[in-house]
Amino acid sequence: MNIMNVDYSTKIPNNVDLASDRQVLKALEGWHPGYIDWWNDMGPEGFQQSLVYLRTAYSVDPRGWAKFDYVKMPDYRWGVLLAPQEDNRTIPFGEHYGEPAWQEVPGEYRAMLRRLIVIQGDTEPASVEQQRHLGKTAPSLYDMRNLFQVNVEEGRHLWAMVYLLQKYFGRDGREEADDLLRRRSGDADSPRMLGAFNEATPDWLSFFMFTYFTDRDGKMQLHSLAQSGFDPLSRTCRFMLTEEAHHMFVGETGISRIVQRTCEAMRDAGISDPTDIAKVRALGVIDLPTIQKKLNLHYTLSLDLFGSEVSTNAANAFNAGIKGRYHETQIEDDHRLTSATYPVLKLVDGVIKRVDEPALTALNMRLRDDYSQDCVKGLLRWNKVITTAGYDFQLALPHVAFHRAIGEFKGVHATPEGLLIDGATWARRKDDWLPSTDDGDFIASLMQPVSDPGAYAPWIAAPKVGIDNKPGDFEYVKIET
């Protein structure tokens, strides 16, 4: 078969020739009803019978891989798509540097590999669960469609990991695949594996922050796994990254449109001080200081997803050739990190200091630094909207010691500027830096659904261009209740 094109003749669309891989096809078909049950129980609430203008992958060719059409979400063709195999690919880092990439699971790294695939897989349905109630308060049909697009693709990313588990890990892979449908975001008894995926996504500002900051952790982790010496994992992640780009676009433009609307409303009302929260809120838009608080929350929850700054797990995965660095093949060094060091921010005798650590154990810190740099790009764009509107206010990333639950700074309190403070000061000031109950109530009060084609809730500006170049009043979702 042509690996570029997707075979839609089997129940599970794929470009991995499932038709002649009967055992795996059977296992996936056996998992399918449980997945559909999960989607019906935990996928978007309502709208399951609505026609949604969604993109579906029909090829893995980066020049043209998706087609758009109206689809009812439960009929979406979730499938297994891998980027084409590169001829003679070698392992690009670690102890096996330069050896041919593995097409089967290397026995000695089986447990490590399975753990990483399960963690990756677990985040995908978790995000769908976190966002399931948002359709009901969508600020427009355009935004509702983007939410559902993100949701169905996270569902497909779950399929991507489940395929690896079913094909390469035999019986325990099948058990892990079943468990991925069993855990639930925020559930006390059976929570999702990583912290940020058990938090609520209460409103659309949180949704945009999540797709900007948390999906970007996804991007960094997928890039690192795309370097993997285990070739099927690498190929899966490479194609997932193609879909992931849209999710971050949704976040970046969503926040930008909120900031723009707030600035326009302030200007029209003659408000010169953007920190005059009561006056700005009276206009029915979200004030910039509250946007900063939401940013503080979602950025720091996402920083926690990188694990401890200094980690032997990360060193072992790198040595093994299982998980590399961001843009590994473009880095000019020995790709083994035998003697290199990397500066890590640490707490030394109560002071935050940069300390040189072996680069091998500092890999999480390095990836997190790459992540923070990547995050800055959106902030520059949002700040440009603010300055262009004539306001003296800048959104900023908080210090990495602020509000942390994992790693070096989990046991201390710090201000967004990185000043260490005691527990009493933290308790007194916390609501100045993170969304308070009042902030949440105010934002919730704005979350009124808007469902006329081309109309937008008053707290968010219209997008500059439509999806698939559709006109402004395009009916992205034909609502059927």
By the criterion CB under 6 A, which residues form the site for ligand BYC?
116, 119-120, 123-124, 127, 154, 194-195, 214-215, 217-218, 221, 304-308, 311, 313-314, 323, 364, 406
Minimum distance from residue 234 beta carbon to ligand BYC (Å): 14
Minimum distance from residue 271 beta carbon to ligand BYC (Å): 35
When the beta carbons of 261 and 294 are compared against ligand BYC, the nearer one is 294
Minimum distance from residue 282 beta carbon to ligand BYC (Å): 34
Q: Residue with CB nearest ligand BYC?
A: 307
Contacts of 32 (CB under 8 A, 6+ apart): 11, 12
When the beta carbons of 221 and 260 are compared against ligand BYC, the nearer one is 221
Contacts of 380 (CB under 8 A, 6+ apart): none
Minimum distance from residue 316 beta carbon to ligand BYC (Å): 9
Tokens of 8: 């839609």
When the beta carbons of 285 and 375 are compared against ligand BYC, the nearer one is 375
Comparing CA positions, the residue from 91, 370, 87, 90 lying closest to residue 223 is: 370
**Where would I find the H helices in 183-214?**
204-209
Minimum distance from residue 193 beta carbon to ligand BYC (Å): 6
**What single-letter amino acid sits at 181?**
L
Dihedral sign, Cα of residue 341, residue 342, residue 346, residue 349: positive
When the beta carbons of 123 and 227 are compared against ligand BYC, the nearer one is 123
Distance CA 80, CA 228 (A): 18
- Helix (H) or strand (E) holding 151, with range, is helix 141-168
When the beta carbons of 149 and 221 are compared against ligand BYC, the nearer one is 221
When the beta carbons of 209 and 286 are compared against ligand BYC, the nearer one is 209
Minimum distance from residue 108 beta carbon to ligand BYC (Å): 18
Tokens of 325: 């660095």
DSSP category for residue 451: -
**Measured CA distances, 100 to 90, 94, 96, 97 (Å):** 4, 13, 9, 9
